[in-house]
């Protein structure tokens, strides 16, 4: 008696979501990373607002969540994707000092530049002028950069040296969920 092959129809939702994500990541890498970044960045802002709401009574600012979603969608996703691809080309794993070089490139060049872009884009999305931008930079940029170096260095060490390149933006976005909650509160 021949045995029929029957497709598995009762797979878990998590497994199907993962399969769909992997398919989209392979087919549309930048768009997939950008949408994921937009969602997780917005969630980071929402997390920050929820933490602050516990301290004081206040409603959720939907425009703040939208600003962070736009930033993640149009800046974090594509810029991070390009940076990790460029890093692979500039500092291949065959380089004997690639672990240190990658970390230094990320921490000393990318981190300050990316944080500066964050401040600049958020200032634009908040419809604020140049004076306000300078004030925010002077008031919290150095503090945020030092915190970035403290918080992100171990995560980025793992990310840029051990996480496959196609998953680096996702890995960073998951960590960034909490980082954007911090930035939302420190920029105020």
The token duo for 75 is 């800046």
pLDDT(6) > 60: no
**Integer CA distances (angstroms), 17 to 12, 23, 29, 67, in order:** 9, 10, 16, 26
Determine whether 143 is exposed, middle or buried from the number of CB atoms within 10 Å of its CB (0-12, 13-18, 19+): exposed
Please write the tens of the pLDDT for every residue from 116-131. Answer: 999 999 999 999 999 9
Q: With bands split at pLDDT 50, 70 and 90, how would you rate the model's confidence at 60?
A: confident
* Residue 160 counted as domain residue: yes
For the chain, how many structural domains are there in total? 1
- Check residue 163 and report its DSSP letter: S
pLDDT(57) > 70: no
Q: With bands split at pLDDT 50, 70 and 90, how would you rate the model's confidence at 52?
A: confident
* Residue 173 counted as domain residue: yes
Q: What is the pLDDT of residue 7?
A: 58
Q: What is the pLDDT of residue 177?
A: 86
**Alpha helices of the chain — where are they, by DSSP H?**
13-27, 29-55, 62-71, 77-90, 98-104, 111-125, 130-136, 142-162, 168-186
pLDDT(67) > 90: yes
Q: What is the pLDDT of residue 104?
A: 97
pLDDT(3) > 90: no
List all residues 6 or more positions away from 127 whose beta carbon is below 8 Å from its beta carbon.
Answer: none
Q: What is the pLDDT of residue 47?
A: 86
* Residue 12 counted as domain residue: no
* Residue 1 counted as domain residue: no
Q: Which of 57-71, 90-104, 113-127 has the lowest mean pLDDT?
A: 57-71
Please write the tens of the pLDDT for every residue from 23-40. Answer: 999 999 999 999 999 999
* Residue 109 counted as domain residue: yes
Domain that holds residue 153: 23-186
* Residue 10 counted as domain residue: no
* Residue 14 counted as domain residue: no
Task: Report percent pLDDT > 70 for the chain.
Answer: 89
Q: What is the pLDDT of residue 62?
A: 92
């Amino acid at each position: 008696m021949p045995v029929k092959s029957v497709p598995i129809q009762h797979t878990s939702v998590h497994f199907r979501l993962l399969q769909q994500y992997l398919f989209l990541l392979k087919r549309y890498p930048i768009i997939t990373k950008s949408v994921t970044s937009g969602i997780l960045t917005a969630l980071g802002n929402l997390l920050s607002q929820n933490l602050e709401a516990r301290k004081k009574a206040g409603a959720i600012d939907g425009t703040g969540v939208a600003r962070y979603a736009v930033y993640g969608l149009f800046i974090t996703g594509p810029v991070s994707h390009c940076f990790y691809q460029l890093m692979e080309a500039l500092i291949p794993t065959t380089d004997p000092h690639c672990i240190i070089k990658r970390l230094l490139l990320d921490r000393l060049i990318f981190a300050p530049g990316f944080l500066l872009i964050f401040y600049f884009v958020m200032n634009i999305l908040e419809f604020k002028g140049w004076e306000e931008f300078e004030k925010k930079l002077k008031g919290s940029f150095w503090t945020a950069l030092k915190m970035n170096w403290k918080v992100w260095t171990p995560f980025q060490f793992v990310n840029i040296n051990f996480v496959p390149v196609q998953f680096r933006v996702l890995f960073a976005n998951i960590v960034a969920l909490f980082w954007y909650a911090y930035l939302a509160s420190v920029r105020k």
